[in-house]
Amino acid sequence: MTAGRKQTQAPMEATVDEQPPVAEPSARRRARRDLVRALLRSKTFMVGCAILLWWVLDSVAWSLFVPTDPQALDPTNALAAPSAQHWLGTDNLGRDVLSRVLAGATTVLGIAPAATLLALLLGTTIGLAAGYYRGWFDELITRLLDAFLAFPPIVVAVLALAVVGASNVAVILVTGLLFVPNVARTVRSVVLQERSRDYIAAARLRGERGPYIMVAEILPNVGGPLMVEATVRFGYAVFTVATLSFLGLGLQQPSPDWGLAISLGRSYLQVAPWVVLAPALALATLVVSINLVVDGLRQVIEE
Amino acid sequence: MSAEPTSVITGDANEAPPAVEIRDLVVSYRRRRRNLQVLRGVSLAIQPGEAYGLVGESGCGKTTVAMTLMRYLPPNAVIDDGSVSLEGEDMLGMSPAQLRELRGNRLAMVYQETASSLNPTLRIGEQIAEVYRYHRAMGRAEAADAAREMLTRVQLADPGRVARRYPHEMSGGQKQRVVIAMALATNPHVLVLDEPTTGLDTTVEAEVLELVAGLRSDYGTSVLFISHNLGIVAQMCERVGVLYAGRLVEEGAAQHVLTEPKHPYTLALLRCVPRMGMHKDTMRLDPIPGSLPALGTDVPACVFADRCSITEDRCHTQAPPLVPVASGHTSRCHFVDAVSKIPPRAFPSPADKSDDASEPLLLVEDARKTYSAPGQHVEAVAGVSLEVHRGEILGVVGESGSGKSTLARCVVGLDNSSAGTLSFGGISISPAARRRRHALRRAVQMVFQDPDTSLNPRRSVRRLLLRSVRLLRGERGRTADLRVRQLLADVRLEPRHLEVKPAALSGGLKQRVAIASAFAGEPELVVCDEPVSSLDVSVQAAILNLLSDLHVDRQLSYILISHDLGVVRYLSDRIAVMYLGEIVEVGSAEEMFKPGHHPYTEALVSAIPSLNPTEPGRGRIRLTGTIPSPANPPSGCRFHTRCPRAIGDLCRTEKPPWQHDGDGHTYRCHIPPTELRALQTHDDPPMTS
């Protein structure tokens, strides 16, 4: 222990010190590296990540992967079964299903993250304020959130979209707002725990103001649970966005969006099941991959 | 206490085998594909009926010894070498079924955390009955009867009702009794107690220890008693082993080891606790320099060499043998004879410059704090008046639930007092911190109990201190940077600690950062709420010295809140004793420990475990029962329900007057000073029920 020897040279007072296993700044880096390593070791996380990354890549660069133009019509070859030419067959207008599935990731992976972000921003703000100020403000907010959560989410979304009209922006707003209560409740519960710790009392004694304490002191300590919550909400957002377009409240023809494709292919389910199955499976893999990532994260964070 | 002669240690082979024999035990924990050695060859034996104390700082491996004996080691632990036998039978080769049999019937353990060793969903009676039904194959009714009988044996009043309660309906001391009852249910031959009283109030602790001692003499149980408190070990055990960094460095009869230590570590452990009669004005404490080698690091040949004051080259190269120093007393040191000559490094304190300027800095008048819940009002602080003079250290003591922390939070303004007035420097101040003027906020600061929660884990030491400097002094940029370095030096930390986050620091260093942060604005009054109770003894001393130095250098005042009377006595000039939200006695630190004190103070003082259990006048009185609920405080004198010197109806019906005993010593009791002093100097202990 070099530290121990160094001390004997110091003056009397400094010797009188319990010597730390002093971690150099690298300790932080090491902790982070350990976390990353644990994630890399987690099969759940890695498999989820691989699938998710594939879809993200595909949503950006689908044009490189598609065998044919997803919008190219070929009415003479409508509802053709999978073949060497069309690996996943064609739909009722003779468009290549594989190309449309690959192209369809863009819409859901654009809208769902945007909606999640909106939910996180608003939800975190509300949760922080409610958890920190408590009292009547908290009481009011939590009651409102509870009331909001009591409505079936899809019904609320359908109603809202029926009023404002379907558009990408509308779907983002509605889906985002729909998840605000969930995020807010999670954040609030973590804030309540953190708030009771003495570093908050110490900050108040220094004369810190509420907003500073919330944003600079508490928020960084809410990070872990917030990350898990974000991923969970993202999974739900993917699902909700797809459901809305299935119900015809999101994107309209000729978008290759998966929800829309499932909805349109429904009528041909008996003669050409591939029209529905392909986008449905794509959607399923995306949602499952997100759930795998959540599970992996949770395990590692909790360890 | 109950020093039984059953434990004569002889080497004769024809005796019964030792109750426990551990030989050359080496245990390590696997972490990240590395083996971290925790026990480095521990050998010890516990004779039948003997109580063996295992002491040492936290991290020495005490609990690992206990867990190995129980065979309850976590899955990543590896027993590399050595043997463990119970009454002559090898335990390491036993099958899980054999172990289960053994654990219930011949071996039992009381764990450190009582709260988590009881199942919260089962009634107390059922939990104990379970032991009988499983290990004694008793029927339901029979087991329930046995459980009730066991509850009687651990002296729980009204066992029938206790048996029907759930754990959350009981106090800490009661729960500890239940856990002991469960451990003793099958009348085990060996009982392992791992810090059985940590977290309990001194008064409750004394009761629990007395119970264990009594039961032990009734049943002849052998005990492995693990504690960091040397006083308790001296009181409870016949023999004691001192563990350091996974090696037993000294072993012998408790009286010998704890009064004439022959190993530098034992000596250092003994010297770093404030002893009775020590005061900061006359003597500084003697902390152990350095810290325990971190897990997995290489240790020198003599494990203690890096922190030892008489170390020589030999200590680093050659492992010291186990040297017999007296019959049954051995020490692992090259220089056993030199140990008794190690001069105390505790040197006289620099003279305290504060003269008795009687200008009160803080004046609290009739402060009250009520917490309201539906259906009840709890008065946590019920009309407290006190003053703190400039340059004075006022100690506040009392059991948990006495309202001392609430009082502290009211003074600094974290809790708004519900009534009463506060004035600081002669000017009346707002009860809420955020309404106080900047200068006042700067002047009144607080040091919290647990630095783990009082420092934001996400911030580096530099950022933590910069923020305090900026808010409390309004400094920025280079000036602030220099100030932070100065602060760091003031609390004896080094610049290399600046970029580190709290998690990378040991407990004592964290507390130094917390102290630096409170001192950033040159406060005039610092409220210290249990500043050392979350720290190891060796570290406590260093922090107490630091607080004392800062006090002398800066002429400021402290309110020192602690349940540890030794700490309060060492540091304080005056002491206030609180009971159920009221102050029952105020006086100089010296007077509080002499006869003529409030019966409650008397009980607190006599509950302090001493290194010398035979000291006269010890353990004279014991408090029974627990502190009543502040939601429904007793009438008259609030202490009358537990008072060993209550004089009848008067105490029940009438609030006692303040009795003045000269020199600012005053207490609240119906018994006048002269009478009380006579009662307390009289050697006859009053009977308590």
| Digit-coded pLDDT (tens) for B422-459 | 899 888 888 888 888 888 989 999 999 889 899 999 89
What is the pLDDT averaged over residues B400-429? 87
Tokens of A155: 């019904």
Structure confidence by residue, pLDDT tens digits, B72-83: 888 889 999 999
Query: For all residues of chain B together, what is the average pLDDT?
Result: 85
- What is the nearest CA distance from A196 to chain B, expressed in angstroms? 9
Structure confidence by residue, pLDDT tens digits, A195-221: 989 999 999 999 899 999 999 999 999
Residue type, B3: A
Q: Does A215 touch chain B (CB under 8 A)?
A: no
Which residue in B289, B445, B497 is closest to A15 by CB distance? Answer: B289
- What is the nearest CA distance from A253 to chain B, expressed in angstroms? 49
Query: Given the DSSP bridges, would you call strands B525-529 and B444-447 parallel, antiparallel or unpaired?
Result: parallel
CB contact under 8 A, B455 and A217: no
Which residue in A14, A206, A221 is closest to B457 by CB distance? Answer: A221
CB contact under 8 A, B289 and A13: no
CB contact under 8 A, B433 and A204: yes
Confidence of residue B284 (pLDDT cuts 50, 70, 90): confident
pLDDT surpasses 80 at A115: yes
Confidence of residue A16 (pLDDT cuts 50, 70, 90): very low
Residue scoring higher pLDDT (A302 or A173): A173
pLDDT surpasses 50 at B357: yes
Domain span(s) for CATH 3.40.50.300 in chain B: 360-528+541-555
pLDDT surpasses 90 at B492: no
Structure confidence by residue, pLDDT tens digits, B108-135: 999 877 777 889 899 999 999 998 998 8
- Is-contact A167 B413, C-beta < 8 A? no
The secondary structure of B576-595 as a DSSP string is: EEEETTEEEEEEEHHHHTSS
For chains A and B, count residue pairs whose Cβ atoms are closer than 8 Å. 125
Mutate to test the interface with A, among B311, B347, B453, B498 (most CBs of A within 10 A): B453
Which residue in A3, A17, A27 is closest to B500 by CB distance? Answer: A27
Residue scoring higher pLDDT (A115 or B336): A115
- What is the nearest CA distance from B520 to chain A, expressed in angstroms? 10
- What is the nearest CA distance from A204 to chain B, expressed in angstroms? 7
Distance CA B85, CA A40 (A): 43
Share of chain B above pLDDT 90, in %: 32
Confidence of residue A11 (pLDDT cuts 50, 70, 90): very low
Query: For all residues of chain A together, what is the average pLDDT?
Result: 85
CB contact under 8 A, B287 and A16: yes
What pLDDT, on the 0 to 100 scale, is given for residue A132?
A: 94
What is the CATH number assigned to the segment(s) B360-528+541-555? Answer: 3.40.50.300
**Superfamily name and number for A59-302:** MetI-like (1.10.3720.10)
What is the pLDDT averaged over residues B618-629? 70
What is the pLDDT averaged over residues B578-583? 92
Distance CA B650, CA B636 (A): 8
What pLDDT, on the 0 to 100 scale, is given for residue A24?
A: 45
What is the pLDDT averaged over residues B245-262? 91
Share of chain B above pLDDT 70, in %: 93
What is the pLDDT averaged over residues B676-681? 83
Structure confidence by residue, pLDDT tens digits, A69-85: 888 888 888 788 888 88
- Is-contact B360 B541, C-beta < 8 A? no
What pLDDT, on the 0 to 100 scale, is given for residue B11?
A: 46
CB contact under 8 A, A18 and B306: no
pLDDT surpasses 70 at A2: no
CB contact under 8 A, B454 and A199: yes
Phi, psi of B444 (to 5 degrees): -115, 110
- Residue partners of B612: CB distance under 8 A and separation at least 6: B234, B259
Domains of chain A, residue spans = 59-302
Cis peptide leading into B196, omega within 30 of 0?
no
pLDDT surpasses 50 at B1: no
CB contact under 8 A, A202 and B514: yes
- What is the nearest CA distance from A115 to chain B, expressed in angstroms? 29
Structure confidence by residue, pLDDT tens digits, A226-270: 988 999 999 999 989 999 989 888 777 788 889 888 988 888 888
CB contact under 8 A, A23 and B500: yes
Sort B338 into a burial class: Cβ within 10 Å, 0-12 / 13-18 / 19+: middle
Distance CA A19, CA A39 (A): 33
- What is the nearest CA distance from A259 to chain B, expressed in angstroms? 43
pLDDT surpasses 60 at B175: yes
Mutate to test the interface with B, among A199, A212, A214 (most CBs of B within 10 A): A199
Which residue in A13, A21, A198 is closest to B294 by CB distance? Answer: A21
Confidence of residue B243 (pLDDT cuts 50, 70, 90): very high
pLDDT surpasses 70 at B224: yes
CB contact under 8 A, A206 and B456: no
ipTM of this predicted complex?
Answer: 0.80
